[in-house]
Amino acid sequence: MSDFILNASVRSDLGKGASRRLRRANEQIPAVVYGGDKAPQSIAVEKTVFYKAIEDEAFFSSVVDLNIEGTKEQVVVRDLQRHPFKPLVTHADFMRVDANQEITINVPLHVVGEDQCVGIKDQDGELHALAVEVQVYSLPKDLPDYLEIDIANVEVGTTLHLSDIRMPQGVRSVELSHGEDHNAAVVNIAKQKVRGSDKDDDDAEDAGEGEDNSAE
Protein backbone atom coordinates (compact mmCIF):
# COMPACT_ATOMS: atom_id res chain seq x y z
CA MET A 1 0.00 0.00 0.00
CA SER A 2 1.41 3.39 -1.02
CA ASP A 3 1.54 6.41 1.23
CA PHE A 4 -0.43 9.43 0.04
CA ILE A 5 -1.13 12.53 2.13
CA LEU A 6 -3.54 15.27 1.10
CA ASN A 7 -4.21 18.53 2.91
CA ALA A 8 -7.72 19.96 2.87
CA SER A 9 -9.84 22.69 4.37
CA VAL A 10 -13.50 22.72 5.38
CA ARG A 11 -15.87 24.32 2.87
CA SER A 12 -18.65 26.42 4.33
CA ASP A 13 -19.45 28.25 1.09
CA LEU A 14 -21.39 25.57 -0.81
CA GLY A 15 -23.23 25.25 -4.11
CA LYS A 16 -22.24 25.24 -7.78
CA GLY A 17 -21.32 28.92 -7.71
CA ALA A 18 -19.01 28.40 -4.75
CA SER A 19 -17.37 25.42 -6.46
CA ARG A 20 -16.78 27.46 -9.61
CA ARG A 21 -15.20 30.27 -7.61
CA LEU A 22 -12.97 27.75 -5.85
CA ARG A 23 -11.81 26.26 -9.14
CA ARG A 24 -11.19 29.70 -10.65
CA ALA A 25 -8.90 30.51 -7.72
CA ASN A 26 -6.88 27.57 -9.06
CA GLU A 27 -5.54 26.49 -5.68
CA GLN A 28 -8.01 23.85 -4.44
CA ILE A 29 -10.34 21.11 -5.71
CA PRO A 30 -13.93 20.87 -4.36
CA ALA A 31 -14.52 17.53 -2.68
CA VAL A 32 -16.64 15.62 -0.19
CA VAL A 33 -15.70 12.98 2.39
CA TYR A 34 -18.36 10.58 3.64
CA GLY A 35 -18.89 7.18 5.26
CA GLY A 36 -18.31 5.67 8.67
CA ASP A 37 -20.20 7.03 11.67
CA LYS A 38 -19.69 10.69 10.70
CA ALA A 39 -21.80 12.98 8.55
CA PRO A 40 -20.61 13.85 5.03
CA GLN A 41 -18.30 16.86 5.00
CA SER A 42 -17.62 19.28 2.16
CA ILE A 43 -13.93 20.06 1.82
CA ALA A 44 -11.42 21.63 -0.56
CA VAL A 45 -8.23 19.71 -1.38
CA GLU A 46 -4.87 21.30 -2.12
CA LYS A 47 -4.64 21.21 -5.92
CA THR A 48 -0.91 20.81 -6.61
CA VAL A 49 -0.41 17.73 -4.45
CA PHE A 50 -3.72 16.24 -5.59
CA TYR A 51 -2.86 16.48 -9.29
CA LYS A 52 0.53 14.91 -8.65
CA ALA A 53 -1.13 12.05 -6.73
CA ILE A 54 -3.62 11.18 -9.47
CA GLU A 55 -0.75 10.64 -11.92
CA ASP A 56 0.09 7.50 -9.92
CA GLU A 57 -2.31 4.61 -10.60
CA ALA A 58 -1.66 3.30 -7.08
CA PHE A 59 -3.43 6.37 -5.69
CA PHE A 60 -6.78 4.92 -6.73
CA SER A 61 -6.26 1.65 -4.86
CA SER A 62 -4.58 3.03 -1.75
CA VAL A 63 -5.63 4.35 1.63
CA VAL A 64 -5.06 8.11 1.62
CA ASP A 65 -4.28 10.16 4.73
CA LEU A 66 -6.54 13.20 4.48
CA ASN A 67 -5.56 16.06 6.78
CA ILE A 68 -8.57 18.36 7.21
CA GLU A 69 -7.37 21.41 9.14
CA GLY A 70 -5.48 19.19 11.59
CA THR A 71 -8.05 16.39 11.76
CA LYS A 72 -6.83 13.24 10.06
CA GLU A 73 -9.10 10.86 8.18
CA GLN A 74 -8.16 7.67 6.34
CA VAL A 75 -10.02 7.52 3.04
CA VAL A 76 -10.09 5.95 -0.41
CA VAL A 77 -11.01 7.69 -3.65
CA ARG A 78 -14.54 6.76 -4.73
CA ASP A 79 -15.11 9.06 -7.69
CA LEU A 80 -13.56 11.88 -9.69
CA GLN A 81 -15.66 14.22 -11.81
CA ARG A 82 -13.74 15.63 -14.75
CA HIS A 83 -14.27 18.56 -17.09
CA PRO A 84 -15.87 17.36 -20.36
CA PHE A 85 -13.02 18.58 -22.58
CA LYS A 86 -10.33 20.16 -20.38
CA PRO A 87 -7.80 18.06 -18.41
CA LEU A 88 -9.30 19.19 -15.11
CA VAL A 89 -10.86 17.47 -12.10
CA THR A 90 -13.97 19.39 -11.07
CA HIS A 91 -14.87 17.39 -7.92
CA ALA A 92 -13.60 14.46 -5.86
CA ASP A 93 -15.42 11.98 -3.61
CA PHE A 94 -13.57 10.30 -0.72
CA MET A 95 -14.93 7.51 1.47
CA ARG A 96 -13.77 7.01 5.06
CA VAL A 97 -12.37 3.57 5.85
CA ASP A 98 -12.24 1.55 9.05
CA ALA A 99 -9.04 -0.39 9.68
CA ASN A 100 -11.11 -3.36 10.89
CA GLN A 101 -13.63 -3.49 8.05
CA GLU A 102 -13.10 -4.82 4.53
CA ILE A 103 -13.67 -2.46 1.64
CA THR A 104 -14.43 -3.11 -2.01
CA ILE A 105 -12.10 -1.41 -4.47
CA ASN A 106 -10.83 -1.74 -8.04
CA VAL A 107 -7.15 -2.64 -8.31
CA PRO A 108 -5.07 -2.29 -11.53
CA LEU A 109 -4.11 -5.53 -13.29
CA HIS A 110 -0.57 -5.75 -14.70
CA VAL A 111 0.43 -8.36 -17.29
CA VAL A 112 3.99 -9.62 -16.74
CA GLY A 113 6.20 -12.02 -18.69
CA GLU A 114 5.22 -10.71 -22.13
CA ASP A 115 8.85 -10.70 -23.34
CA GLN A 116 9.19 -14.39 -22.43
CA CYS A 117 5.71 -15.47 -23.51
CA VAL A 118 5.86 -18.74 -25.50
CA GLY A 119 2.74 -17.92 -27.47
CA ILE A 120 4.11 -14.56 -28.58
CA LYS A 121 7.81 -15.40 -29.11
CA ASP A 122 7.55 -18.86 -30.64
CA GLN A 123 3.99 -19.19 -31.94
CA ASP A 124 3.31 -15.82 -33.60
CA GLY A 125 0.60 -14.94 -31.13
CA GLU A 126 -0.49 -11.56 -29.83
CA LEU A 127 -1.65 -10.40 -26.43
CA HIS A 128 -5.27 -9.39 -25.90
CA ALA A 129 -5.76 -7.75 -22.50
CA LEU A 130 -9.44 -8.22 -21.64
CA ALA A 131 -9.36 -6.43 -18.27
CA VAL A 132 -7.31 -3.57 -16.87
CA GLU A 133 -8.50 -3.80 -13.26
CA VAL A 134 -10.03 -6.28 -10.82
CA GLN A 135 -12.55 -5.58 -8.07
CA VAL A 136 -11.43 -7.01 -4.72
CA TYR A 137 -12.37 -7.24 -1.04
CA SER A 138 -9.63 -6.38 1.44
CA LEU A 139 -8.88 -4.82 4.78
CA PRO A 140 -7.29 -1.40 4.25
CA LYS A 141 -3.88 -2.62 5.45
CA ASP A 142 -3.84 -5.43 2.86
CA LEU A 143 -4.74 -3.38 -0.21
CA PRO A 144 -2.28 -4.06 -3.05
CA ASP A 145 -1.15 -1.26 -5.37
CA TYR A 146 -1.83 -3.65 -8.27
CA LEU A 147 -2.26 -7.34 -9.14
CA GLU A 148 -0.11 -9.33 -11.56
CA ILE A 149 -0.86 -12.12 -14.02
CA ASP A 150 2.13 -13.94 -15.53
CA ILE A 151 1.92 -15.00 -19.19
CA ALA A 152 5.51 -16.26 -19.66
CA ASN A 153 4.43 -19.89 -20.22
CA VAL A 154 1.14 -19.19 -21.97
CA GLU A 155 0.66 -20.67 -25.47
CA VAL A 156 -1.41 -19.45 -28.40
CA GLY A 157 -5.11 -20.14 -27.98
CA THR A 158 -4.96 -19.91 -24.19
CA THR A 159 -7.22 -17.67 -22.14
CA LEU A 160 -6.45 -16.81 -18.52
CA HIS A 161 -9.22 -16.02 -16.05
CA LEU A 162 -9.66 -14.31 -12.69
CA SER A 163 -8.84 -17.59 -10.96
CA ASP A 164 -5.37 -17.51 -12.59
CA ILE A 165 -4.44 -14.31 -10.75
CA ARG A 166 -2.38 -14.93 -7.63
CA MET A 167 -4.10 -12.88 -4.94
CA PRO A 168 -2.01 -11.57 -2.02
CA GLN A 169 -2.93 -12.75 1.45
CA GLY A 170 -6.09 -11.09 2.70
CA VAL A 171 -7.29 -10.11 -0.78
CA ARG A 172 -10.27 -11.78 -2.52
CA SER A 173 -11.90 -11.32 -5.90
CA VAL A 174 -15.42 -9.90 -5.67
CA GLU A 175 -16.54 -11.68 -8.85
CA LEU A 176 -15.19 -15.09 -7.81
CA SER A 177 -17.03 -14.79 -4.51
CA HIS A 178 -20.25 -15.06 -6.54
CA GLY A 179 -19.32 -18.49 -7.94
CA GLU A 180 -17.49 -20.17 -10.82
CA ASP A 181 -19.87 -18.66 -13.38
CA HIS A 182 -18.23 -15.30 -12.64
CA ASN A 183 -14.69 -16.46 -13.45
CA ALA A 184 -14.25 -13.84 -16.18
CA ALA A 185 -11.53 -13.94 -18.82
CA VAL A 186 -8.77 -11.36 -18.30
CA VAL A 187 -6.02 -12.23 -20.83
CA ASN A 188 -5.92 -14.10 -24.14
CA ILE A 189 -3.05 -15.05 -26.44
CA ALA A 190 -4.51 -15.32 -29.95
CA LYS A 191 -3.03 -16.15 -33.35
CA GLN A 192 -2.13 -12.99 -35.22
CA LYS A 193 -4.33 -12.13 -38.17
CA VAL A 194 -2.16 -12.08 -41.28
CA ARG A 195 -3.10 -9.90 -44.23
CA GLY A 196 -3.02 -11.72 -47.55
CA SER A 197 -4.63 -14.86 -46.16
CA ASP A 198 -6.58 -17.18 -48.47
CA LYS A 199 -9.81 -15.38 -47.64
CA ASP A 200 -8.30 -12.01 -48.47
CA ASP A 201 -7.00 -13.41 -51.79
CA ASP A 202 -10.43 -14.82 -52.64
CA ASP A 203 -12.09 -11.49 -51.87
CA ALA A 204 -9.56 -9.70 -54.07
CA GLU A 205 -10.15 -12.13 -56.94
CA ASP A 206 -13.92 -11.68 -56.66
CA ALA A 207 -13.51 -7.92 -56.75
CA GLY A 208 -11.23 -8.20 -59.80
CA GLU A 209 -13.71 -10.39 -61.66
CA GLY A 210 -16.46 -7.88 -60.95
CA GLU A 211 -14.38 -5.10 -62.47
CA ASP A 212 -13.66 -7.19 -65.63
CA ASN A 213 -17.35 -7.97 -66.11
CA SER A 214 -18.36 -4.36 -65.81
CA ALA A 215 -15.69 -3.41 -68.38
CA GLU A 216 -17.12 -5.87 -70.91
Within the chain, which residue ranges are assigned CATH 2.40.240.10?
4-96
Average pLDDT over residues 144-172: 96
DSSP output for the chain: ---EEEEEEE--S-SHHHHHHHHHHTSEEEEEEE-TTS--EEEEEEHHHHHHHTTSGGGGGS-EEEEETTEEEEEEEEEEEE-SSSS-EEEEEEEE--TTS-EEEEEEEEEE-GGG-HHHHTS-EEEEE--SEEEEEE-GGG--S-EEEE-TTPPTTEEEEGGGS-PPTTEEETTGGG-GGG--EEEEEEEPP-TT-HHHHHHHHHHHHHHHHHH-
pLDDT at 1 over 50: no
In degrees to the nearest 10, what's the CA dihedral of 12, 13, 14, 18? -150
Within the chain, which residue ranges are assigned CATH 2.170.120.20?
103-191
Confidence tier at 28 by pLDDT (50, 70, 90): confident
Radius of gyration of the chain (CA): 25
pLDDT of residue 216: 41
Confidence (pTM): 0.78
pLDDT of residue 197: 53
CATH of domain 103-191: 2.170.120.20
User: In angstroms, what CA-CA distances link 152 with 31, 108, 111, 121?
Assistant: 43, 19, 10, 10
- CA–CA separation, 176 vs 167, rounded Å? 12
The more confident residue out of 14 and 186 is: 186
Which pLDDT tens digit goes with each residue over 30-51? 999 999 889 999 999 999 899 9
CATH of domain 4-96: 2.40.240.10
pLDDT at 213 over 70: no
Average pLDDT over residues 140-156: 95
pLDDT at 155 over 90: yes
Q: How many CB atoms lie within 10 A of CB 178?
A: 10
pLDDT of residue 101: 95
Confidence tier at 21 by pLDDT (50, 70, 90): low
pLDDT at 212 over 90: no
Which pLDDT tens digit goes with each residue over 88-136? 898 999 999 999 999 999 999 999 999 999 999 999 999 999 999 999 9
Range of lowest pLDDT (3-7, 13-17, 76-80, 162-166): 13-17
